Copies of this chain bind each other. A is one copy, B any other.
C-alpha cells in the first residue's frame, strides 16, 4: 500500500487535532483513500514544550528546512499562523513541489490568489477549507454544488467569538463588557479581542467566501466594516421586542450584477434558522438563483472541528495524488465584478438615538429623515434618563447613500446622538 508522508508546521490546537484524528481514524482513511497517511515531521518553535498529543514515531524539530528538503514528504499542513512568515514558508514549500493545506485565513484573505497561482505553476494542490467557518465544509460545497448555479448572496455568522458575546447578551442579559469577559474566561475570545470584536476576522472570511461565490478578489478595504463593540443591551432588547435577534453578519451579495460586501451587526428575524445559531457556532447561508436558500451550520472553531476540515483537505490532496490530478485550483471561478455604489445598496435599517427630552426634537429627527426621503414603519421611545429620551426606529428600505446623508445630518446636531444604524434582514 502507498504511504504518503505528511509534514506539519505548528503544533498548537489545530495541529494537535490533526495528529489525533489521523491516529484515531487511520483505518477509515486508508479504506477510503487506499493510502496510509503518516505524519513524519512536525516543525515547532520550541521542541522542549509539553505536548498533549502522542508523537511516537514523529520527528519533532525546529528546523523548517527539513520539510522543504525531505523528498518523502508530499503534503505539508500549515497551522502555525502569522502572515509573512507563513507566506514565505508556503512559497518555499510549493516551489519544492509540496502540496499545502492551511487553515490560515489572514494569509489566504491577503495572499490567496498569489499562492494559488504559485501552486498551480508547481502542479501542486493548495487547499484551505479550515480557513472559513472551522468545521463547516463551506468552501468545497460552493465549489462542488454551486458550480452550475449563480450565487446571489453569501451571508452568515462567520465569527464564533462575537456570536458567543451577542448570544450571552441576548439570552442572559449581560452587558457587552460582561459578555466579552465571559468569552475570554471560556477561551472563546483572546486577551486582545480587537480582530474579532471589530469584525476584521469576519471580513477576512468574507473575502475568501467572495472569491469562491462570486469569483472576485477583494481586499479588506472593500468590506464595509462595523464591529460589535458598540452594540448596547438596550438595542438587543429592543430588537427582541420587534421580533429580531442581533447577529454580526458578513454579507456578500450581488445587486444588479454589482457586488456589495459588509460586516456588521444586523437584525435577523427571530423566526429564521439563522437567528437560532448560538454561542460559538457559525452558519453560512448561500442563496443561489436556481437552488434558492441553503444554510450550512456547525462549530466555527475548536481543535477537532477545524482539524477535521484540514483532514478533508488532506484526503482531497491524497485522492489527487493517487489519480495524478494535482494542481487544479481549489477555486477555479474567476469573474470580473464591479463593486456596487452606495446608491444601489438597499436595506431597511434599525436606528437608535438619544435626543434631549424636550418639545420639537422628534420633529427635527423626522425632518432629517424626510429631507432624505427616508420613511419608517416603527418609531418608539424606549427609555429616558436625565432629560434625554432614547428613540428606536425601523426604516423602510433605503439606500446606503440615504443612510450616509442622514448620518451626516445627525452629526451636525450635537444634541442628538446616533447609537446604532444596523441593517435589517427581511422575511
Contacts and interface: CB of A to CB of B under 8 A. Distances in A.
Interface of A: 17, 21-22, 24-25, 28-29, 31-33, 129, 135-137, 140-141, 144-150, 271-273, 275-277, 283, 288-299, 302, 304-305, 307-309, 311-312, 314-316, 323, 325, 332-335
13 contacts: A21-B148, A21-B290, A24-B289, A28-B147, A29-B148, A135-B291, A145-B308, A145-B312, A148-B314, A148-B315, A273-B297, A292-B304, A297-B297
Contacts of A312: 144-148
A338 B51 CA distance: 37
A376 B33 CA distance: 48
Nearest to A27: B335
Given A31-B335, A290-B308, 7 more contacts: A24-B289, A28-B150, A136-B294, A140-B144, A146-B312, A291-B305, A296-B296
B308 A298 contact: no
A147 B273 contact: no
| Copies of the chain in the assembly | 2
Nearest to A137: B145
A324 B70 CA distance: 30
Given A31-B333, A147-B315, A304 B323 contact: no
Contacts of A24: 150, 289-290
A135 B145 CA distance: 9
B296 A295 contact: yes
A427 to B, nearest CB: 12
A148 B294 contact: no
B298 A144 contact: no
Contacts of A332: 31-32
Contact of A297 (B295, B299, B335): B295
Contacts of A289: 24, 304
Given A144-B137, A147-B311, A150-B28, A298 B304 contact: no
Contact of A25 (B137, B148, B308): B148
A291 B316 contact: no
